[in-house]
Amino acid sequence: MKIKKIPLLIISLLVSFALAACGNVIKYTDDPKSGPIVTDYSQSRHWLSLPVAADKKIDVFYLYPTAWKKNNTTDPNICEIDNASMAIGSKAAFGRQATAFETVGNIYAPYYRQADLSPVEREKVIRGIPTLDAIAAFDYYINHYNKGRPFILAGHSQGSNVLSNLLAGYMKDHPDVYTKMVAAYVIGYPVTAAYLANNGHLKFAKGPDDTGVIISYNTQAPDVPPGNNPVLSGMVGIVINPITWTRDETLATKGKGLGSFMPDPKTSKFSQVPQYADAKIDKANGVLICSTADENALYKLSGGALGLGRGVYHSFDYPFYYYNLRANAANRATKFLSKQ
């Protein structure tokens, strides 16, 4: 597979979030001495999802969570764009996450080269090639697929980490593009007060109706001790409740929810079930608490395999609140379109 090169100077600007990467700014070259590579998103094989017909008024740009893991310590920290295991994992993630938005918008989802779960200086690694690919993909989407439509950003875990970098850099450099953003669902990665203070052009959601905002939360059980959720990496994020869409610490019982999207324990096939999870914000620790989930059963399903620890419901950030997310995205899209 041939992937074209991008000049090293532009790479450094992208990674520092100072690149104005719109239109013809990204220059591809075949010169192997020109520096790190960027994935060529004019190739349809580099897209996990491209709509056959963009027949909805809203687009969704989705970045999947970590879908690749090293086989051994000698493997590189970043996988190739055509890595087979990443392709399988990303498709599975798309099915349980991105499909929440399929009734709302046309879903565009690029493949992007990923970091393993635990490289040294993981944040620094993700600010490099994974973010570079995401910026290149989003820029290509804006210039070739978007056609001026409002859009939703959605991600999870590493995908949300990358989205936070895109929001900090690309949106600052392209305020005209940012004005078309309905909302950014940066789920499964902490969005901190410090991050927002450093990026004054961004704002966090305050309720169910505001637009141009960031939505974020990280779900865990009540008995996870402070500091024992590896997803947070010591950060305290701002949280919104995905049932009530408020930021206070009032418990939202599962009876108030719209339904979950959970796997069958025997087949692992996801399907709609009655609301499975309640939701309560813990501001001090920057997490969303779910007290109604079967902690042991979910640990066997995913937590144990991922090594995240018992009671860390990272894999279920979307499935727990799947239909709440769908309804909220539709609501924010309607509010956005009514303003236009």
State pLDDT tens for residues 52-69: 999 999 999 999 999 998
In this predicted structure, what is the pLDDT of residue 16?
A: 36
For 45, other C-beta atoms within 10 Å of its C-beta total 9
> Which structure tokens are listed for 75?
């493997």
Distance CA 20, CA 283 (A): 36
Strands 106-110 and 59-63: parallel
252 pLDDT above the threshold of 70: yes
> Which structure tokens are listed for 255?
């009876």
Decide: residue 125, CB within 10 A, 0-12 exposed, 13-18 middle, 19+ buried. middle
Question: How large is the average pLDDT for residues 164-182?
Answer: 97
Q: What is the pLDDT of residues 288-307, one digit of tens each?
A: 999 999 998 898 877 555 67
Query: What is each CA distance from 242 to 195, 279, 298, 337, in whole angstroms?
Result: 21, 7, 20, 22
DSSP 225: P
H helices of 179-301, where? 193-198, 295-298
In this predicted structure, what is the pLDDT of residue 4?
A: 35
Report which residue type is found at 5: K
With CA atoms as reference, report the closest residue to 295 among 275, 315, 274, 281: 315
Q: Model pTM greater than 0.85?
A: yes
Q: What is the pLDDT of residues 204-234, one digit of tens each?
A: 999 999 999 999 999 999 999 998 999 998 9
User: Distance between the two ends of the chain, CA-based, in angstroms?
Assistant: 43
